[in-house]
Amino acid sequence: MHALQIYIKNLMHANYFSLFLFFSGIIIFLCTHTDIIMIEISHLNLNFKNEIIFDNFSLLINKGEKVAVIGESGKGKTTFLNLLAGFIPDYSGNVSIFGHELNAENISEIRKHNAWLPQDISLSVKTVRELFFEPFEFTLNRDLKPSSESVSQIFSEFDLSENLLNKKTNEISGGQKQRIILASCLLLKKPLLLVDEPTSALDEKIKQKITDYILKQKKLTVIAATHDDYWIKSSDKVIEL
């Protein structure tokens, strides 16, 4: 308390230039510090299907970081991604994404900046083209509809033939479906990508190629639930559940 009194006294005697420097420093610190945080979790408690998934869990993820979430099956990797995508409302503690607290009021705003790839999408039969372009039909994403060059480029990066676009979703393999949906998510150019076992249905060679492609996107924050060693090694941060 005494120290604080001396500090305030000194501050009152300081000249305007010192005060300007002092407050500018604080503002610059706050701006740069808060600007680099993508996700802030503190004291998270979460039970799911009668199991404790998180008990007083805290975590900070910076923008552009590539995070691998690992752990045995049933430990809550998918639940963690579902929580961040707003699919598990019953939790206690603080979860903040892009500076917005994760709650019912902010969820629409938070989802505007997300791309989310579940492990498996069960869907009625439709053409691959419909599936691939579906997210670009949403009002929010209409301006992001990719050019044919962008589609060709990402299909080539992901070892996909463009002829697949004319097939039905039940005529392609699980690995092809996974890559097509992943490519669609990436072309949305959202700052945060949540992916659940993104390479689970892929062979080794394609796995590495796709991992490298995603993890080299500097501005993209990626949180992946994964068992894949190459993905884990290539990530900036590993969270074990």
Partner 1 sequence: MEKVIDINYFELFTGYALMLIPVLALWYYKTGLVKDTLIATARMTVQLLLVGLYLEYIFKLNSIAVNIGWVVLMTVIASYTIVNRSNLKFKLFFIPVVLSGIISIAITDAYFLGFVVKLDNVFDARYFIPVTGMLLGNTIKNVVIALDAFYKRIDDEETYYRWHLANGATKKEALLPFMRDALRVAFNPMIATTAIMGLISLPGMMTGQILGGSNPNIAVKYQIMLLITIFSSAVLNVVLTIFFSNKFAFDAYDNLRKDIFRK
Residue ranges that bind partner 1, judged by CB under 8 A: 85-87, 89, 104, 107-108, 111-112, 114-118, 120-124, 134-135, 137-141, 181, 185, 188, 190, 194
| Shortest spacing between CB 188 and partner 1, in angstroms | 6
| Shortest spacing between CB 11 and partner 1, in angstroms | 45
| Shortest spacing between CB 88 and partner 1, in angstroms | 8
Comparing CB distances to partner 1, the nearer of 15 and 50 is 50
| Shortest spacing between CB 108 and partner 1, in angstroms | 8
- What is the rounded CA–CA span in Å between residue 180 and residue 87? 23
The answer to whether the beta carbons of residues 30 and 201 sit under 8 Å apart is no
Comparing CB distances to partner 1, the nearer of 191 and 209 is 191
Cβ-count burial of 214 within 10 angstroms (0-12 exposed, 13-18 middle, 19+ buried)? buried
Comparing CB distances to partner 1, the nearer of 200 and 208 is 200
Distance from chain centroid for Cα 9: 47
Comparing CB distances to partner 1, the nearer of 109 and 240 is 109
171 to each of 157, 168, 174, 209, how far by Cα in Å?
A: 22, 5, 10, 24
What are 192's strand-pairing partners? 114, 221
With H, G, I as helix, E, B as strand and everything else as coil, classify residue 203.
coil
| Shortest spacing between CB 49 and partner 1, in angstroms | 12
Comparing CB distances to partner 1, the nearer of 130 and 229 is 130
Long-range contacts of 106-111 (CB under 8 A, 24+ apart): 110/86, 111/85, 111/86
